[in-house]
Structure 1
Amino acid sequence: MKVIVAGLYKTGTKSMKDALEVLDYDVWDVAEQLNHVGGVEQWEALMTYNGDATPMLKEMLSNCEAVTDGPAAVLAVEIYKAFPTCKVILCVRDNEDVWFESYKRNRDTLNNNFLLRLMRYISPTVSRRFEIMRLANDVISSGRFVNPLSSIMTYDISPLLCKRAYNAHIAYVTQQVPQSNLLTFNVKQGWEPLCNFLGKEEPQVEFPHTNRNAGNATTSGVYRHAMFSSVKSVRNRVAMEVTMAVCVAFAVVVPMFFV
């Protein structure tokens, strides 16, 4: 492990993945974190563990060079304590209001996607991955990241509490990580401060700005990478679970028309 991107969701974490890959790092985003062999089981165990997480994190992340987004985003300090020689990049937005509006749009887009909400109920594979990300986001949204599919009521997230969580995260990372190992970074700053911090030559390409539109939330991040995974074995498992659910529903509903 060489680099930890410590920014919360919607602080440019997707851009950081692309930028670090340009700089030749092997980066684990949400897809890699959840879908490597044993990944889901490891994160489930970690999220419910009451003790020193260092040994678990060392085992989970020993084969990657950099992490960004995913469940790792809210555990940046714990990951740093497991890998204390790492460089930590604390991604931030222009201010808390800009961040909150982006985070809220992303959250609302996901909640308004009926297919994803339905898949949580008919596919155990999707449900387990979504539950990990729900736990991570509930830290920010005070338990209101997801509207239940079965509920006719919807509820919103609290601007006050979300902004408090955003600022508390920044303060905690800044307090816990030595300044020599920490870069507070806005992706608008581009290559120069990032490359200076990492000791890399500046690439002769434009700095990536990925996933600017929150409307992409359902085809990136949690939705595409963690749920309908690019990992073939996971994707096939989801397809099988959906097929079985459809067959069961068909077997239950069709006979009702002949009663």
Structure 2
Amino acid sequence: MKVIVAGLPKTGTKSMNAALSQLGFVVYDFLEHTVLTQDEYVDILHKGWSTEDFRRMYQDVDAVVDVPACFFWDEIHKAFPDAKIILTLRENEDIWWNSMLTQLETNGGFFAKLSALLSPTCRRAHRKILDLTGIMVLGCPFVQPFFKNPERNAQLAKKGYRSHNAYVMSTAPKDLLLVYKCSEG
């Protein structure tokens, strides 16, 4: 592991994935986390973890971005203490929330619900990983049930965004941390 991107979704994680991939890094993004390491994350989210769990999961990976890894950046860093940490941020929490809300309404909409209904792998990822990580970030699951109106609390989500970023900035080793806004170029 060379790079841990600790930024929350909608902070430039896809741009960071593209940049790291272009540099030749093996990057695990949302899709790899929810497909290739799904069983490990199910155990982590429901039973707990050890440093060795993350070392084993990411032994052949150069970089991680997006959920659920961004929530476990510090545990992943314990497994790979020489890794650099990048905290990606949006211009402000309102811009982040508006982007997140747009994604939730698009990707958490009809087709996400339909895919969860028809695909056992997708359903398991939603139920076992996305619901819990959504609660961690937003105070509600990322994808709402089919016949239920979304329950989203903007203040709670923004508080989670601020808390996550403050924790990273106060805890990550300063000599290994880059705080970066993709809008800076």
**TM-score range normalised by the length of the shorter chain:** over 0.9
State the distance in 1 between where 2:142 and 2:61 align. Answer: 28
Q: Which residue of 1 aligns with 2:39?
A: 41
Shift of 1:96: 0.8
| Counterpart residue identity of residue 12, structure 1 | G
Distance 1:57 1:111 in 2: 28
- Name the counterpart of 1:141: 138
AA aligned to 2:6 is A
Question: What is the aligned partner in structure 1 of residue 9 from structure 2?
Answer: 9
Residue 125 in 1 paired to residue 108 in 2?
A: no
Give 1:164's aligned residue. 159
Instruction: Report the Cα offset of residue 158 of structure 1.
Output: 1.1
CA contact (8 A) 1:119 1:127 kept: yes
- Alignment match of 1:115 (pick from 111, 117, 121): 111
Per the TM alignment, residue 4 of structure 1 is displaced from its structure 2 partner at its CA by: 0.3
Partner residue of 1:221?
none
Please tell me whether the aligned partners of residues 3 and 66 of structure 1 are also in contact (alpha carbons under 8 angstroms): yes
- 1:54 aligns to what? 51
Indicate conservation of the 8 Å contact 1:6/1:173, yes or no. yes
State the match for 1:90 in structure 2.
87
**Deviations 1:212-243 (CA, angstroms, capped at 9, x unpaired):** xxxxxxxxxxxxxxxxxxxxxxxxxxxxxxxx
1:78 to 75, 78, 81: 75
Judge conservation of contact 1:145–1:157 (CA < 8 Å) in 2: no
Distance 1:120 1:171 in 2: 34
* Aligned counterpart, 1:229: none
Matched AA of 2:138: S
- Helix, strand or coil at the partner of 2:43: helix
Q: Deviations over 1:99-156 (max 9, x none)?
A: 11111111111232x23202212321111122312221221111243321143xx134
Q: Is the 8 A contact 1:147 1:155 kept in 2?
A: yes
SS at match of 1:48: helix
Aligned CA RMSD, in angstroms, stands at 1.5
CA distance in 1, matches of 2:27, 2:119: 27
User: For 2:83 and 2:51, how far apart are their aligned partners in 1?
Assistant: 14
DSSP-derived class of the 2:168 partner: helix
SS in structure 1 at match of 2:87: strand
User: Which of the numbers 62, 66, 69 marks the counterpart of 1:69?
Assistant: 66
TM-score of the superposed pair, with normalisation by structure 1: 0.67
What code does the residue aligned with 1:65 have?
Answer: D
Contact 1:144 1:155 (8 Å CA) reproduced: no
1:174 & 1:53 partners in 2: Cα distance? 23
User: Which residue matches 1:101?
Assistant: 98
Per the normalisation by structure 2, the TM-score is 0.92
Give 1:88 deviation, angstroms. 0.2
